[in-house]
Amino acid sequence: MIMLKQVKKWFNKRITLIFAPGEGSRSFQVRVSYPFITFLILTTIGIFVAGAYMSDIYANYLYAVKKNKKLVTQNSDYSQQIETSLDMISNVKKIEVQLRGLLGMRTARNIVEKYPMGGAFSEDSELFSSDFNSIDQQSRFNSNVAEIKRESWEQNQSLNNIKGFINRKKDVLLSTPSIWPVFGYITSGYGWRTHPISGRKEYHKALDIYNMLGSGTPIRATARGRIVLAGWAGSYGKVIIVSHGNGFSTRYAHISQFAVKQGSHVEQGQIIGYVGSTGNSTGPHLHYEVRYRGKPVNPMRFVKGR
């Protein structure tokens, strides 16, 4: 009961506000109730709070607009970069085709494993979808990204295939007698000649190479392989026979000293012995033979231009 009385009293309370506009004007007063003044104060606070809240929303909106503009610019930038990447990939593809042509390889179509298709790109669509203002642009973007992924995958496979091909070629090249065993003059080439000792016409199935250093000039294996003979063999004198695989073997005759043992493996360019004049020879030189499937062939076919 006491509470109710106090509230009633508060409601009936009045406050007198005196307005004094200044000199020359009459001052006036207004009597207002406590509840009214409370209402006025609360309303003012409410308006301020609402205003602050609204201005915050507006600031956020402005920020969103600005960000969106930036994203749109960024997107078109990305799209352009993707177009450039596609151009570059298509250039790489052209070079790859040319490379295959130069190497006499088959086209990649039969060799390259296709990129695994299916749900692979769903994550991308989700990733990019929210930032796009049109479905068209988005789907184009996605398909371009997918194409870059697929093309890069295929290029990667194709280049690995080319690398393997070159490695196999390199292996064949290293196993093919393709370098000079010694540097010097060819004193007797491959073909018909009059034998310097017997004076008879004969078919010389080798190159005779003379080096100014004479005896002791290092002889190098012209391809990698295995020493199948390092010993004496009649008119050859001291001779080394190297088997290279792929049907090739080489013979190095009249040598003075061995640098390798029979049965050992040699690399292309490795020193295997030294020039001499052992066996049927008129002076220090290397008698160098290349055989393919057991038959002598002209060594110049392999060393020319090297």
Residues lying near Zn ion in the complex (CB under 5 A): 206, 208, 287
Residues contacting residue 301 through CB under 8 Å, at least 6 positions apart: 290
Our CB check for Zn ion shows the closer of 207 and 221 to be: 207
Distance of CA 153 to the CA centre of its chain: 11
State the DSSP string of 142-182: HHHHHHHHHHHHHHHHHHHHHHHHHHHHHHHHHTS--S-SS
Our CB check for Zn ion shows the closer of 105 and 206 to be: 206
Q: Which residue of this chain has its Cβ atom nearest to Zn ion in the complex?
A: 287
Our CB check for Zn ion shows the closer of 35 and 196 to be: 196
The minimum distance between CB 269 and Zn ion, in angstroms, equals 22
The minimum distance between CB 303 and Zn ion, in angstroms, equals 16
Whole-number Å distance between alpha carbons of 261 and 85:
57
Nearest CA to 153 out of 203, 201, 217, 161 is that of: 161
The minimum distance between CB 170 and Zn ion, in angstroms, equals 31
Compute the half-sphere exposure of residue 147: CA atoms within 13 Å on the CB side of its CA. Answer: 16
Six token digits for residue 169? 């070629």
Our CB check for Zn ion shows the closer of 145 and 286 to be: 286
Our CB check for Zn ion shows the closer of 155 and 187 to be: 187
Our CB check for Zn ion shows the closer of 139 and 215 to be: 215
- Compute the 3-state secondary structure of the chain and give helix, strand, coil in percent, each to the nearest 5: 45, 25, 30
The minimum distance between CB 244 and Zn ion, in angstroms, equals 20
The minimum distance between CB 103 and Zn ion, in angstroms, equals 37
The minimum distance between CB 231 and Zn ion, in angstroms, equals 18
- Give the start-end residues of each E strand in the chain: 14-19, 28-33, 185-188, 191-194, 201-204, 207-210, 218-220, 225-232, 238-245, 248-253, 257-258, 265-266, 271-274, 286-292, 295-297
* Length in residues, the chain: 306
Whole-number Å distance between alpha carbons of 244 and 289:
13
The minimum distance between CB 188 and Zn ion, in angstroms, equals 6
Our CB check for Zn ion shows the closer of 196 and 269 to be: 196
Our CB check for Zn ion shows the closer of 224 and 287 to be: 287
Sheet containing strand 257-258, strands side by side: 218-220, 271-274, 257-258
The minimum distance between CB 208 and Zn ion, in angstroms, equals 4
CB contact at 8 A, 125 and 137 = no
